[in-house]
Amino acid sequence: MRLLAWAAAFVLAGCGAAGAPKAPMADAADNEPGDALLTIEGTPIALRRSVVADQYFWLRTKVLEGEAPPAFAEAFNAMHELRTDLSGDPTAYEDLEVPLGAVSHASELVAIYGEFPERKEVGGRVVPFRADALRLAQAMSKLEGAYKKGPYREHAIAIGLAAKDLELHLVPFEPTILKAIESDMGLPDGARAVVVTLVNDAPYPGIFAADARGRVMASFVRVRGLDGSALAETVLQESLHALDEMTVRESTALNSLRAALAKRGIDESDSNAEMAINTVTSAEAASLVRRFVDPSHRALGEKGFYTLYPPAPAIVAAWTRHVDHGEALDVTADAIAKAVADP
């Protein structure tokens, strides 16, 4: 069920605009800083690149694939051991991934991970969390130069092209989109800075939202092999996850939905709660793309997720009535909760 929840997120890519960042040439990427914003200051949903985040998610992908170039064996083995210890609860990765949204060099992770608890209960068993994390951070730091001159050279080009795509097709509409999100999602007025870090590769579905429940948020989107309005939908869905975490203690549409689900015995311990939230954010992101970016856009969920989760079509229909026809949020939340409780 958790994998299906993650399948609610997909990844895409866009085009470029005048003033958009140029895709870095491979040689030039060697001399660029470890991280940088790819959109101008003040952009509501900012785009960022980071060699640290790119290396981390590349390693996660390589562990799933079963191999990595021999030069990166030390970091690969560290990530493999970490995956073995965290396999009982995928949410345990959140502590590792939140810092990736801010650091510039893997060496910074050594200090951060060194503050982790020595042991952590994951999936019913206690694992050496700090030692696992430190081993990974130290290996990533040792290999950062080689990674930047190796796999990251091509990755930086792909990330730059995706950023140009989004700069043209999504960024100009973000102020209007944020107003629509506030209305649709029942969010309080006011600017909320969201930063999405673009990485070349990542495990399926290639999109991550690591959170500390309303205190800090880090979002990552994979760009490899994906483009067009699908990328815009994925970035928007990640932004919706971020906005949800930032307003976790406020009265919002998603919190109303959680309350409605709880009344029917579906709380956060039930994977259906996460599934329902992901379905709504997917439906909202697709709706935003159709309204403001590409009227012909087909929701990514229609290609798979909506068919995998039985209540999804009814959830999408209820959310569409709210967005397109002004159905009240409490009515929508109750309809969604009913669909989840009795699909």
Per-residue pLDDT of 186-235, as tens digits, reads 988 765 789 999 999 998 778 887 776 667 789 999 998 788 899 999 99
- State how far the Cα of 230 lies from the Cα of 236, in Å rounded to an integer: 10
Residue 44 forms part of a structural domain: yes
Per-residue pLDDT of 65-99, as tens digits, reads 999 999 999 999 999 999 999 998 888 898 999 99
Residue 72 forms part of a structural domain: no
Residue 129 forms part of a structural domain: no
Residue 298 forms part of a structural domain: yes
pLDDT at 135 over 90: yes
Residue 140 forms part of a structural domain: no
Residue 228 forms part of a structural domain: yes
Q: Residues 6 or more apart from 103 whose CB is under 8 A from it? A: 34, 35, 50, 52, 109, 112
What does the pLDDT read at residue 3? 39
Phi, psi at residue 195, to the nearest 5°? -120, 125
Lowest pLDDT segment from 11-20, 221-230, 253-262: 11-20
Residue with the larger pLDDT of the pair 19 and 333: 333
Q: Which residue(s) pair with 50 in the sheet? A: 35
Residue 198 forms part of a structural domain: yes
Quick one: pLDDT band at residue 312, thresholds 50, 70, 90?
Answer: very high
- State how far the Cα of 266 lies from the Cα of 268, in Å rounded to an integer: 7
What does the pLDDT read at residue 29? 52
Q: Domain tally for the chain? A: 1
Residue with the larger pLDDT of the pair 124 and 138: 138
Residue 65 forms part of a structural domain: no
